[in-house]
Structure 1
């Protein structure tokens, strides 16, 4: 009897302890983690936002940005792999493409955001083509891309990969309980529907998805099925030879293995939509959507992105049978064995508009801000 009760208590301890840790207003404490960056609370056009990044890799592969305009807010989360070049390129080029296309068409729309992502993707492939002679491994560099644009009461989201956007909304049917609504779909081979889609697209390839080290991988190499970059999985001209065994394909590709273009989502925001969490998969691999929105809902706004990052780190430490304080002392590179780079932006949606707000561009993991080019969109309307 005692053994059964002990096992039940142990099973319940994780979710209970997670909320117990994060519900205390002082649980953020004095951070002494040199790899943790945060902006606890800033204003955007329609409310406030919180932003945090923690580095785990030897070189930070997550790049991110928040762009603040008078009548619009843009959030970009770019989770790189194989190196930081693709995620950094997206951070430098996606938003300028969005502004340019919106000016040309005279409106902001889902199609404009989609075209901006595609222009960024084409630009990076052109960069790979120009540099492959001296940097052949650029063909194996890629990045997920999650881009959200909020304007005039509408949320537009473009997604490639397994970063995720989740809305926290109040459910009137459940006594105003906060409920998680996932806006995006993960493009990851761990999902059965993605594996079926890959098999349908490649019926002549029995090895299109392979279980490797307990994880489903496309061609036994990569988990995500849509990315910017990864040129060697998209065009035969970028194939890498056997001197790069990790990225060498036994047979030449006949058609692109990874899909081009983002999945698009449009949502008219409602009064019950309280906030949006944009985050790389470093957060979602350790926490459920519902856990995340409950932590945001039940804690002070200030520092909430940092709180989510730390909660994911605590869970990663628990899984790795390490103490959180021990993980904080680990250096970049070594820490990757416990958790990934993690980027989180929490955007609160208030009913009032912040009049006269400064138009700013903020990059994750830096302490510098610059004027945002949102100012060039004065008079540009909203499309469908």
Structure 2
């Protein structure tokens, strides 16, 4: 699941230029998995690294004719279930939350990923620690904490102009203007990686972009638990905050709606423990890409072993 973030609106980006799908991390991951014959944290980290390097290479070859490509970036959340274990990696503020049954058969939630967003105190402290000589590494702008006063997320694919001096943008582009030349990367493409061996009480995992979590808590989302209902509930909450009707939001053009609510992508995976731990379990012939809104044959089916 990958989502282009501010300062660009994805609906407008496609009018200006075409970029490779950030979900190429899934393709890279498959390649590394095939080489090693398994899934591991290192495989996932290598896939993210290859995706970042590939995208920066694309920026390097196209920025002369499309300079704003250097300001294009994306959050990325990847999950792979392999032999009863969930492997997760994320950049940015998309989130994975597991829902499991408590002792009273109530749904309890646990956030499995870490939000890389400057609104979080620990993220701001991390940035200040990494940049002790930069008093403006985080700035409060219009009531929102942003890195260099520009972007909220601290880890991304892309956003080359905030990672390498060679990708500096023309100062006349005020939207992305830095107060001083870049001395070192202020954003990172190093994902946070997590693993969870499924427990019998685990029932489902929600993968969603920050557009959902802006309006629903982890617990609220888990109590709904169905992707379409989650999206509708989040949109209804966005409409309420804007003193609008849900039906009115649905009628708006995508470019206009982006000012009302952030993009929302949701995938809910229900856990079949009998299948996962069964002696004949195999890699399922299914792959879901939230970024592309597509479902198709799993590219991991070439791997040996059980799921």
TM-score by length of 1: 0.73
Secondary structure of 1:223's aligned partner:
coil
Residues 207-356 of structure 1 aligned to structure 2 (within 5 Å): 207-296=136-225, 304-353=226-275
User: Unmatched 5+ residue regions in structure 1?
Assistant: 1-76, 297-303
Q: How does 1:366-377 map to 2 (within 5 A)?
A: 369-377=295-303
Secondary structure of 1:342's aligned partner: coil
Closer/same/farther in 2, CA of residues 364 and 186 from structure 1, 3 Å limit: closer
SS in 2 for 1:257: coil
Contact 1:101 1:112 in 2 (8 A): yes
| Superposition deviation, residue 90 in structure 1 | 1.6
Look up the match of 2:83: 152
1: CA distance, partners of 2:64 / 2:291:
32
Q: RCO (CA 8 Å, sep 6+): is it higher in 1 or 2?
A: 1
**Match for residue 26 of structure 2?**
95
How far 1:318 sits from its partner (Å)? 0.2
Report deviation, 1:363.
Answer: 4.2
Q: Deviations over 1:16-51 (max 9, x none)?
A: xxxxxxxxxxxxxxxxxxxxxxxxxxxxxxxxxxxx
- Alignment-derived partner of residue 134 in structure 2: 205
SS in 1 for 2:29: helix
- In the alignment, the residues of structure 2 paired with residue 78 and residue 322 of structure 1 have an alpha-carbon distance, to the nearest angstrom, of 28
Identify the residue that residue 180 of structure 1 maps to in structure 2: 109
Shift of the alpha carbon at 1:87? 8.1
Deviations 1:301-348 (A, max 9, x none): xxx201000000000000000011111111211112221110000000
Counterpart position of 1:300:
none
CA RMSD of aligned residues (A): 2.1
Do 2:48 and 2:189's aligned partners in 1 also have CA atoms closer than 8 Å? no
Cα distance, 1:78 vs structure 2: 0.6
Superposition deviation, residue 378 in structure 1: 2.4
Q: Give the Cα–Cα distance (whole angstroms) in 1 for the partners of residues 120 and 19 of structure 2.
A: 24
Q: Assess if the C-alpha contact under 8 Å between 2:267 and 2:290 holds in 1.
A: no
What residue ranges of structure 2 are gaps of 5+ in the alignment? Answer: none
The 3 A distance-change label for structure 1 pair 262 and 177 is: same
The 10-residue stretch of structure 1 (106-115 or 358-367) with the greater mean CA deviation from structure 2: 358-367
Instruction: Look up the match of 1:78.
Output: 2
**SS at structure 1 position matched to 2:53:** helix
The answer (yes or no) to whether the contact 1:80–1:86 under 8 Å persists in 2 is no
Please, what TM-score do these two structures have when normalized by structure 2? 0.90
Kindly provide the CA deviation profile for residues 160-185 of structure 1, in whole angstroms up to 9, marking residues without a partner as x. 0000000001122xx12111100001
Residue 74 of structure 2 is matched in structure 1 by 143
Rg larger in structure? 1
Counterpart-to-counterpart distance in 2, 1:264 and 1:129: 28
C-alpha separation between the residues in 2 aligned to 1:128 and 1:365? Answer: 20
How far has the Cα of 1:371 moved from its partner? 3.0
1:246 CA drift (Å)? 0.8
In the comparison of the two structures, how many residue pairs are matched?
295
